[in-house]
């Protein structure tokens, strides 16, 4: 399974009208998962794709015309002892509300967010659309493990003028996914493109931020790299993020560094969790500026983090005509250890001492 779209049948939809949110669960055509698996591939794909179409929503809207929208990404993880649990959904609920407020939309209430994501996962599971734990995932510390990806997002109401969205929709879809990055080669290219500028939307999980990501990442892929890394817009020398994930440098000195939050960095929930777990391990963790020169000279291990990315190693960085290879091109011990810890908690192999999991089934 890849990081691909195969929408489960039940979707949540709400719209802010008459000063309130009115939500509903929509059920799209489906058979049982076993019957769908037995269908010929073309028919199955047609059925799965049909679940992604809605003909009762406005075509010309502030999202389709001007990219005014934001989203979240979170996962329901099959638990080692059975069932499914969502990792820190309260954090996504809070960030979604902040993102919507940042885009001058009425924020989606956090308690409604919690209910919509858990209920969407649960209702699909009741139809049989869910995943089971596989102990083979432990062999590569969950690099290639599956999960139910939950994608809440906003969509603008109909309109053609450049305008704010005051009556947005909020949708929640779910889809099974596997690894976002292919395990193996993981060279990264420092791109000239700029993801976010001061006083812009970099701190918001705004859909429009990902336009540059798609462009920069496709350039990197074409040039034979797996990932791209951005520098800041002002000095053009401080590292900011990977294509759609935060970034960490485990330095030769033993310090773990990640760029400090500001208005150009996305406040990642995996980022915050890795910081906390690394501090628990006794590491010196700094949220500070790190220049490309320091990163290239002083790094022992580098990895990107995110809901989709997990903790994926970058084994080299190429900037202009210089290439720095980390840990002889191999994934380092710290990266494996921190991924083992966070994924172990997420999949219920390690105890959830922080109360980060919300059990759904
Ligand atoms: C996530 O990590 O869930 C994200 O939102 C990144 C996404 C663009 C794949």
Distance 149 CA to ligand 1 centre (A): 10
Those residues with Cβ within 8 angstroms of residue 153's Cβ, 6 or more apart along the chain or in another chain: 69, 70, 71, 72, 170, 171, 173, 207
**What local confidence, expressed as pLDDT, does residue 182 receive?**
77
* Contact criterion met (CB below 8 Å) for 59 and 159: no
Q: Ligand 1 centre from 147 Cα, in Å? A: 13
* Cross-strand pairs, 249: 257, 302
Q: Tell me: the pLDDT tens digits for 209-255?
A: 999 999 999 999 999 999 999 999 999 999 999 999 999 999 999 99
- Does the pTM surpass 0.85? The reply is yes
115 CB-contact burial (10 Å; exposed 0-12 / middle 13-18 / buried 19+): middle
In this predicted model, what pLDDT tens digit does every residue of 295-332 receive, in sequence order? Answer: 999 999 999 999 999 999 999 999 999 999 999 999 99
- The 3-class secondary structure across 174-201, one letter per residue, is EEEECCCCCCCCCEEEECCCCCCCCCCC
CB atoms within 10 A of CB 51: 21
Task: Name the token pair of 187.
Answer: 């060279």
Cβ < 6 A, ligand 1 pocket: 73, 210, 244, 306-309
Q: Name which of 183-187, 216-220, 332-336 the model is least confident about.
A: 183-187
pLDDT in tens, 5-35: 999 999 999 999 999 999 999 999 999 999 9
Predicted confidence (pLDDT) at residue 88 exceeds the cutoff of 80: yes
146 CB neighbour count, 10 Å cutoff: 19
pLDDT at 140: 87
DSSP assignment letter at 262? S
| Cα dihedral: 115, 359, 340, 311 (round 10) | -10
Question: What spacing in Å lies between the alpha carbon of 251 and ligand 1's midpoint?
Answer: 26
Q: Which residues contact 64 (CB under 8 A, 6 or more apart)?
A: 156
What pLDDT is stored for residue 179 in this prediction?
A: 83
Mutation pick for ligand 1 pocket among 179, 180, 311 (CB with most ligand atoms within 8 Å): 180
- Of ligand 1's listed atoms, the one at least distance from the Cα of 309 is 2
Could you report the per-residue pLDDT of 38-68, keeping only the tens digit for each?
999 999 999 999 999 999 999 999 999 999 9
Q: Which of 4, 5, 73, 148 to mutate to test the pocket of ligand 1 (most atoms within 8 A of CB)?
A: 73
How high is the pLDDT of residue 207?
Answer: 98
Number of other residues whose CB lies within 10 A of the CB of residue 24: 9
Span 72-86, pLDDT tens digits: 999 999 999 999 999
Percent of the chain residues topping a pLDDT of 70: 99
- Residue 145 burial (CB count, 10 A): 24
pLDDT value of residue 185: 67
CA-nearest residue for atom 6, ligand 1, is 244
Q: Which atom of ligand 1 is nearest to the CA of 268?
A: 2
pLDDT digits (tens, 9 = 90+) for 188-207: 999 999 999 999 999 999 99
Atom 8 of ligand 1 has which residue's CA nearest to it?
244
Task: Say yes or no to pLDDT of 2 above 90.
Answer: no
Q: Which residue has the tokens 């330095």?
A: 251
> Cβ(48)–Cβ(6) under 8 Å?
yes
pLDDT at residue number 197: 97
Q: Which residues pair with 19 in a beta bridge?
A: none
Q: Pairing mode, if any, of strands 246-251 and 255-258?
A: antiparallel
Q: How far is the CA of 270 from the centre of ligand 1 (A)?
A: 11
- The 10s digit of each residue's pLDDT in 118-156 is 999 999 999 999 999 999 999 988 988 999 999 999 999
């Amino acid at each position: 399974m890849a990081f691909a779209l195969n929408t489960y049948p039940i979707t949540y939809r709400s719209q802010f009208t008459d000063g309130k949110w009115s939500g509903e669960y929509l059920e799209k055509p489906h058979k049982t998962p076993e019957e769908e698996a037995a269908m010929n591939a073309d028919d199955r794909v047609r059925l799965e794709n049909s679940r992604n179409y809605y003909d009762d929503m406005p075509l010309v809207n502030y999202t389709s015309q001007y990219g005014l929208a934001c989203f979240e990404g979170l996962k329901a993880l099959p638990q080692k002892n059975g069932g499914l649990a969502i990792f820190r959904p309260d954090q996504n609920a809070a960030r979604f509300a902040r993102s919507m407020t940042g885009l001058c939309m009425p924020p989606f209430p956090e308690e409604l967010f919690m209910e919509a994501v858990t209920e969407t996962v649960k209702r699909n599971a009741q139809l049989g659309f869910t995943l089971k734990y596989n102990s083979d995932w432990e062999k590569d510390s969950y690099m290639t493990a599956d999960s139910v990806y939950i994608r809440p997002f906003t969509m603008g109401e109909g309109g053609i003028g450049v305008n704010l969205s005051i009556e947005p929709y909020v949708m929640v879809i779910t889809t099974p996914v596997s690894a976002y990055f292919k395990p193996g080669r993981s060279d990264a290219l420092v791109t000239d493109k700029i993801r976010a500028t001061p006083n812009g939307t970099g701190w918001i999980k705004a859909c429009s931020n990902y336009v540059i990501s798609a462009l920069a990442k496709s350039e990197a892929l074409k040039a034979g790299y797996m990932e791209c890394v951005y520098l800041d817009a002002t000095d053009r020398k401080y590292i900011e993020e990977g294509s759609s994930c935060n970034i960490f440098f485990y330095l030769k000195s033993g310090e773990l560094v990640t760029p400090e939050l500001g208005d150009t960095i996305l406040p990642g929930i995996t980022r915050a969790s890795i910081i906390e777990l690394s501090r628990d391990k006794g590491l010196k963790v700094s949220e500070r500026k790190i220049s490309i020169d320091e990163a290239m000279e002083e790094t022992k291990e580098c990895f990107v983090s995110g809901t989709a990315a997990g903790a994926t190693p970058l084994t080299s960085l190429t900037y202009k005509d210089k290439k720095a290879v980390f840990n002889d091109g191999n994934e380092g011990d710290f990266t494996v250890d921190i991924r083992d810890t966070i994924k172990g908690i997420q999949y219920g192999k390690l105890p959830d001492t922080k109360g980060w999991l919300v059990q759904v089934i």
